């Protein structure tokens, strides 16, 4: 028996399995056909590199029942929190398997080992792209996100926060452009302490650094703010990243960059951003048809009375600001929005 045969067989199987998992994640979860095709090419390349071995040679050396490591399971192997975690685990498994294959094949066929080395570097890039494309494992479809801005609040902002939480808001975006970094971080920490125990996510407008420092769940950026790739360099996939989009071209770019949630709007005219022309439910319908599995928040001039039109266009979540912050009864406003969305 060749000393490396069983290791080559085991790692070839491991690499092919990991590639199939990654390919499926790219195709069915990330909806990225181009990335799926790259992973398929790596899988075919591996098959070609191993074709130098005699037919049946690996199978003749296989002894799965006699593998002393087959019953050894890592602490976290039995569960995965999300498909993003599934893809990330497969990527690590692929790199490890290809490295072992490369080393073992040096004892059998050095040119084939060099081919596997090249595949390994291609796999590193594909793993990176898949992990970033899958985004944060914490991504979710919110129903009602309230953009909390003190200047828009009729009551003290902390009272408004408590009220919208009572009403069922499942995301609070802290939008305080006038606060400096230290004051903003203190504000966000207060919101986090009140919101997260109630299962409500907290997102910071623009400032990824503040989001990380204050323990927020995510950051929301506009078209002129940090790119998704830059946010990932700061926080990896720890933060949920939302991106404002105003048309399908911007949505395409945001989704391709790995945005976890897209702001879709403005739906209607709004006093918060009067310079942005409303795109209306037509854009909401187009977004929902193109990206049915990407979380979104329709934004801009939204009231409970307008929700039937938005629901008909495929809307599953909304973001509001002054209509809740400036209300006499913010909790009732949020309840009405949730009811209007069928939540």
Average pLDDT in the 99-110 region? 97
SS3 71: coil
SS3 318: strand
Whole-prediction pTM? 0.88
- pLDDT band with cut points at 50, 70 and 90 for residue 72: low
Q: Please, what's the b/e burial string for 324-340 (b: 16 or more CB within 10 A of its CB; e: otherwise)?
A: bbbbeebbebbbbbbeb
pLDDT (tens digit per residue) in 7-61: 999 999 999 999 999 999 999 998 899 999 999 999 999 999 999 999 999 999 9
How many domains are contained in the chain? 2
pLDDT of 12: 97
Domain end point (choices 85, 100, 134): 134
Instruction: Tell whether 246 and 336 lie within a shared domain.
Output: yes
DSSP letters spanning 217-270 = SEEEE-TTS--HHHHHHHHTTSSEEEEEESSHHHHHHHHHHT-SEEEEE--S--
pLDDT (tens digit per residue) in 277-315: 788 899 999 999 999 999 999 999 999 999 999 999 999
Instruction: Tell whether 164 and 264 lie within a shared domain.
Output: yes
Domain end point (choices 101, 134, 167): 134
- The boundaries of the domain holding residue 178 are 144-340
The CATH number for 176's domain is 3.20.20.70
Domain end point (choices 134, 153, 188): 134
Torsion angle, alpha carbons of 52, 57, 59, 60, to 10: -170
Q: How far is CA 217 from CA 166, 319, 320, in A?
A: 20, 16, 19
Asked if residue 183 lies in contact with residue 167, where contact means CB atoms within 8 angstroms, the answer is no
Instruction: Tell whether 318 and 252 lie within a shared domain.
Output: yes
């Amino acid at each position: 028996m060749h000393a490396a045969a069983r290791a080559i067989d085991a790692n070839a199987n491991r690499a092919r399995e990991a590639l199939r998992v990654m390919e499926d994640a790219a195709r069915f979860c990330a909806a990225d056909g181009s990335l799926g095709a790259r992973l398929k090419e790596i899988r075919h390349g591996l098959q070609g590199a191993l074709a130098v071995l005699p037919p049946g040679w690996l199978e003749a050396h296989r002894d799965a029942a006699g593998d002393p490591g087959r019953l050894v399971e890592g602490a976290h192997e039995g569960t995965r929190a999300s498909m993003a975690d599934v893809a990330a685990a497969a990527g690590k498994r692929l790199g490890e398997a290809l490295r072992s294959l490369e080393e073992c094949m040096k004892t059998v066929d050095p040119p084939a080992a060099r081919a596997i080395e090249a595949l390994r570097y291609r796999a590193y890039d594909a793993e990176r792209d898949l992990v970033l494309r899958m985004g944060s494992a914490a991504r979710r479809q919110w129903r009602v996100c309230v953009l909390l801005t003190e200047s828009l609040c009729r009551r003290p902002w902390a009272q408004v926060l408590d009220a919208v939480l009572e009403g069922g808001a499942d995301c609070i975006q802290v939008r305080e452009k006038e606060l400096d970094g230290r004051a903003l971080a203190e504000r966000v920490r207060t919101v986090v302490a009140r919101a997260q125990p109630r299962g409500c996510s907290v997102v910071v407008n623009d400032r990824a650094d503040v989001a990380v420092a204050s323990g927020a769940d995510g950051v929301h950026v506009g078209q002129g703010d940090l790119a998704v790739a830059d946010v990932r360099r700061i926080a990896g996939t720890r933060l949920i990243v939302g991106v404002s989009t105003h048309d399908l071209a911007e949505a395409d770019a945001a989704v391709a960059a790995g945005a976890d949630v897209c702001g879709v709007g403005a739906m209607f005219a709004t006093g918060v951003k009067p310079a942005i022309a409303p795109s209306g439910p037509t854009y909401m319908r187009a977004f929902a048809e193109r990206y049915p599995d990407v979380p979104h928040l329709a934004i801009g001039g939204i009231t409970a009375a307008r929700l039937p039109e938005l629901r008909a266009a495929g809307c599953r979540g909304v973001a509001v600001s002054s209509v809740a912050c400036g209300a006499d009864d913010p909790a009732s406003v949020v309840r009405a929005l949730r009811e209007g969305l069928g939540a």
